[in-house]
């Protein structure tokens, strides 16, 4: 789940991004409205966390723009007193809000709730054969036993299970798991999927990941 964090306070942005990453999200950080517009035009995000007090433009205006052009949910952050900014924000199409200062754990919980809303069709526990992926806790189980995976391995498995039976392009996996600033080698996804496949196989998972060369990956149930 890739999140765009728009926050000009560097320290707050760093702490928030770390908490979101620990919560299993992929995070891109930008510090003003101009950068946010560029990021939204370049990539697909599952949600936007938007500070309303930005240096280059009124955050409320940016919110209206995002709402007009993109479908992803927006959670606004505001330090402004009183309810006016919140009411204005919700009227302008924000899906949720937090008043500063907030607990980062609360932000993670609110984002998960937003992404679980009907319409986004995100169930918490995804199942395929004897494999379970809990999209909130990031725990993976095979036949009820926990399988230890890295954060990116869980992310890739989650995408494959969600697209059950459909081919998913390598670039889609790459976009979902890596932020702008991450160094991604040419074969990073191949290596990641290879390791994931080995771990699943070792745990007796009833699923196979097929590599369709030049096209992408496909998860199917094994015929065993
Ligand atoms: Ca600010």
How high is the pLDDT of residue 117?
A: 62
In terms of CATH, what superfamily is 2-115? Response regulator (3.40.50.2300)
CA of 34 to the centre of ligand 1 (A): 14
What pLDDT is stored for residue 31 in this prediction?
97
CA of 207 to the centre of ligand 1 (A): 46
Q: What's the pLDDT score for residue 121?
A: 46
Beta carbons of 85 and 52 less than 8 angstroms apart: yes
Centre of ligand 1 to C-alpha 6, Å, is: 9
This prediction has a pTM of 0.63
For residue 12, the Cα-to-chain-centroid distance in whole angstroms is 19
Residues in the chain where the model's pLDDT stays below 70 = 80-83, 117-123, 164, 223-224
- Tokens representing 15? 């702490």
Say if CB 181 and CB 221 are below 8 A apart.
Answer: no
Locate 83 and state its tokens: 């309810």
Phi and psi at 207, nearest 5°, equal -130, 150
Domain(s) labelled CATH 3.40.50.2300 in the chain stretch across: 2-115
User: Which run of H or E residues covers position 128?
Assistant: strand 125-128
pLDDT of res. 172: 84
Ligand 1 centre distance from Cα of residue 55 (Å): 7
User: Cα(214) to centroid of ligand 1, in Å?
Assistant: 43
Unique residue bearing structure tokens 């809990």 = 134
Mean pLDDT (the chain) is: 88
CB-CB neighbours of 167 under 10 Å? 13
pLDDT given at position 119: 45
Segments of the chain assigned to CATH 1.10.10.10: 125-221
Give the Å distance between the CA of 179 and the centre of ligand 1.
22
> How confident is the model at residue 141, as a pLDDT?
96
- The set of residues, in sequence order, having a beta carbon less than 8 Å from that of 134 and lying 6+ positions away, is 124, 125, 126, 140, 141
- Fold classification of 125-221 (topology level): Arc Repressor Mutant, subunit A (1.10.10)
Q: 54: Cβ–Cβ under 8 A, 6 or more apart, which residues?
A: 6, 8, 32, 33, 62
């Amino acid at each position: 789940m890739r999140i765009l964090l728009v926050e000009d306070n560097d320290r707050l942005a760093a702490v928030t991004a770390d908490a979101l990453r620990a919560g299993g999200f992929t995070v891109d950080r930008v510090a003003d409205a101009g950068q946010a517009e560029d990021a939204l035009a370049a990539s697909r995000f599952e949600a936007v966390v938007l500070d309303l007090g930005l240096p280059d433009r009124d955050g409320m205006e940016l919110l209206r723009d995002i709402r007009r052009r993109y479908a992803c949910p927006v959670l606004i952050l505001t330090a402004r007193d009183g309810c006016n900014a919140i009411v204005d924000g919700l009227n302008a199409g924000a899906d949720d809000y937090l008043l500063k200062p907030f607990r980062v754990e609360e932000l993670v919980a609110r984002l998960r709730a937003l992404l679980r809303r009907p319409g986004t069709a995100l169930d918490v526990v995804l199942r395929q054969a004897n494999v379970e992926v809990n999209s909130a806790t990031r725990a993976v189980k095979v036949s009820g036993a926990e399988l230890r995976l890295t954060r990116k391995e869980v992310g890739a498995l989650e995408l494959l299970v969600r697209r059950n039976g459909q081919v998913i392009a390598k670039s889609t996996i790459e976009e979902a798991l890596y932020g702008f600033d991450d160094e991604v080698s040419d074969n990073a996804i191949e290596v990641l999927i290879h390791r994931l496949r080995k771990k699943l196989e070792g745990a007796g998972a009833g699923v196979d990941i097929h590599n369709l060369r030049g096209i992408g990956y496909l998860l199917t149930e094994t015929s065993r």
